[in-house]
Amino acid sequence: MNIIVVGCGRVGSELAYRLFQRGHQVTVVDSTNASFRSLPKDFRGRMVEGEVLNQDVLRRAGIKQADALAAVTNNDSINAVVAHVARIIYGMTNIVVRNYDPRRRPLHDTFGLQVISSTSWGAQRMEELLYQREIHSVFSAGNGEVEVYELAIPRAWQGRALSELLPADGCVAVALARAGRASLPSGETRLEACDVLNVSGTLEGIEALRKRLAHPEEA
């Protein structure tokens, strides 16, 4: 793919290098030439210096031929405007935008952009890791509002129905693995100790699940 990365700070340089390592054609755009020093020495993509809100800079970056664009500066307004221009003027559909300040998230939502908020996601992951460790996340959707978690069924839940374990809201069974074979469980599925259960849930739903795991006598 031919990909433009707007912003060559810590996130932009890391993203550009990862894409380059996977064989993509990468162009990095930044308003400050010194920012390109963040790129590893073996990076072989293109570097374009200039104000990205200037359409001439975007054209020099090859936006007409690009397959995708990531706007990852630390300025939410710039990220939103660049992404909007790429979509409306150049017809690009594969666009990802960084949300730097969670308070500015409504700006991106107004434009209907695909957004990654590293601050919100990072804070939520740390919050989860501070809780009990028997349930851990294996996949995060969006900005972490919904995640897929994995847990081993404790002996106290041997023979109980799955429906007794799962909260009524905020938590849905995805798969259950037993003796190395996975299946799609129903609410009537009887649990066995050491079953590996994957559930999709919100943070609130998973917290309710943790409480049920700890107190099977109350379920």
Q: What secondary structure does DSSP assign to 61-110, as a single string?
A: TTTTT-SEEEE--S-HHHHHHHHHHHHHTT----EEEE-SSGGGHHHHHH
Residue 74 shares a structural domain with residue 131: no
Q: What percent of the chain has pLDDT over 90?
A: 66
* β-strand pairing of 171-178 with 181-183: antiparallel
Residue 53 shares a structural domain with residue 108: yes
Residue 28 shares a structural domain with residue 52: yes
Q: Sign of the C-alpha dihedral, residues 136, 138, 144, 146?
A: negative
pLDDT of residue 125: 66
The neighbouring-strand residues paired with 156 are: none
Give the confidence band of 191 by pLDDT, cuts at 50, 70, 90. very high
The total number of structural domains in the chain stands at 2
> Letter for the amino acid at 93?
T
Give the confidence band of 100 by pLDDT, cuts at 50, 70, 90. confident
The last residue of a domain, from among 116, 147, 168 = 116
Angle 199-200-204 (CA atoms, 0-180°, nearest 5)?
105
The domain containing residue 125 runs over which residues? 121-218
Residue 29 shares a structural domain with residue 14: yes
Q: Residue 183: which of 172, 195, 194 has the closest Cα?
A: 195
Q: Sign of the C-alpha dihedral, residues 13, 16, 22, 25?
A: negative
Residue 206 has pLDDT above 60, yes or no: yes
- Mean pLDDT for the stretch of residues 149-178: 93
pLDDT of residue 143: 74
**pLDDT tens per residue, range 49-66:** 999 999 899 999 999 999
What is the CATH classification number for the domain harbouring 144? 3.30.70.1450
- Only one residue has tokens 């851990």, namely 136
Residue 78 shares a structural domain with residue 36: yes
**pLDDT tens per residue, range 126-158:** 776 565 457 888 888 877 789 899 898 999 999
Let me know: does 61 contact 82? Beta carbons within 8 Å.
no
Residue 162 shares a structural domain with residue 93: no
